[in-house]
């Protein structure tokens, strides 16, 4: 894990003492080119050969994906995702994306058949079924060593508009 800058590490040691009284909402409008620059910077050893995001109107995001999958070989799909409701702790820890389109005839039965193997391969906190992809935000933050951030996040929500993914984050300490 990369070392955090000292002020940030100090905040995380005791958020209430160092930033208690903070209540701020951040809207990050991430343009399509920027998003794909982030995805292009993924580690070179991932089995994903192509990974592109194309946010569009109506809160829908297209994910262009090409992977080397076991048994079936090289698979290329354009999957459409709809970001779900806001994450808020502790009641709603999942950041969910419903898969609304893009799977071909046999994709769903294969995914259902291989559900256990898929779950074993995914990092803890990431869940993929034939209907949705969801991320357990506290589990992901904890495995990254940032569990003290979890109670500070009062709202985390993703929405899509043409060529932009909007991340809304409300932090309160």
- Cβ-based nearer residue to another protein, 7 or 123: 7
The upper half-sphere exposure of residue 63, i.e. CA atoms within 13 Å in the direction of its Cβ, equals 20
- Taking the complex as a whole, the smallest distance from the CB of residue 5 to another protein amounts, in Å, to 9
Q: Is 23 in the site for another protein (CB under 8 A)?
A: yes
Distance CA 97, CA 163 (A): 18
Q: Is 74 in the site for another protein (CB under 8 A)?
A: no
Q: Is 1 in the site for another protein (CB under 8 A)?
A: no
Q: Mark the segment that binds another protein (CB under 8 A) among 32-40, 58-66, 102-110, 122-130.
A: 32-40
Task: Quote the strand ranges of the chain, DSSP E.
Answer: 23-31, 48-56, 60-69, 73-83, 94-101, 126-128, 132-136, 153-161, 164-172
Q: Of residues 11, 61, 99, 152, which one binds another protein by CB under 8 A?
A: 11
Please give the structure tokens belonging to residue 53.
């995001």
Please give the structure tokens belonging to residue 77.
């799909």
The interface with another protein within residues 34-63 (CB under 8 A) comprises 34, 37-38, 40-41
Q: Of residues 1, 3, 7, 104, which one binds another protein by CB under 8 A?
A: 7
Distance CA 129, CA 62 (A): 17
Quick check: 99 and 81 in contact, CB under 8 A? Answer: yes
Beta bridge partners of 66: 50, 76
**What is the DSSP secondary structure assignment for residue 129, as one 8-state letter?**
-
Q: Of residues 2, 3, 6, 71, which one binds another protein by CB under 8 A?
A: 6
Q: Is 26 in the site for another protein (CB under 8 A)?
A: yes
Q: Of residues 4, 25, 68, 130, which one binds another protein by CB under 8 A?
A: 25
Residues that bind another protein (CB under 8 A): 6-7, 10-11, 17-34, 37-38, 40-41, 164, 170, 173
């Amino acid at each position: 894990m990369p070392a955090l800058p000292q002020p940030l590490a100090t905040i995380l040691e005791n958020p209430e003492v160092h930033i208690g009284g903070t209540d701020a909402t951040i809207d990050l409008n991430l343009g399509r080119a920027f998003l794909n620059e982030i995805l292009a910077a993924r580690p070179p050893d991932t089995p994903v050969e192509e990974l592109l995001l194309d946010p569009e109107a109506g809160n829908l995001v297209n994910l262009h994906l090409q992977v080397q999958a076991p048994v079936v070989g090289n698979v290329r799909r354009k999957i459409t995702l709809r970001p779900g409701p806001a994450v808020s702790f502790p009641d709603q820890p999942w950041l969910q994306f419903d898969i609304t389109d893009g799977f071909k005839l046999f994709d769903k039965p294969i995914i259902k058949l291989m559900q256990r193997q898929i779950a074993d391969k995914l990092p803890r906190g990431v869940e993929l079924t034939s209907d949705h992809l969801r991320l357990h935000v506290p589990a992901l933050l904890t495995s990254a060593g940032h569990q003290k951030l979890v109670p500070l996040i009062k709202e985390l929500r993703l929405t899509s508009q043409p060529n932009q993914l909007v991340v809304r984050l409300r932090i309160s300490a």
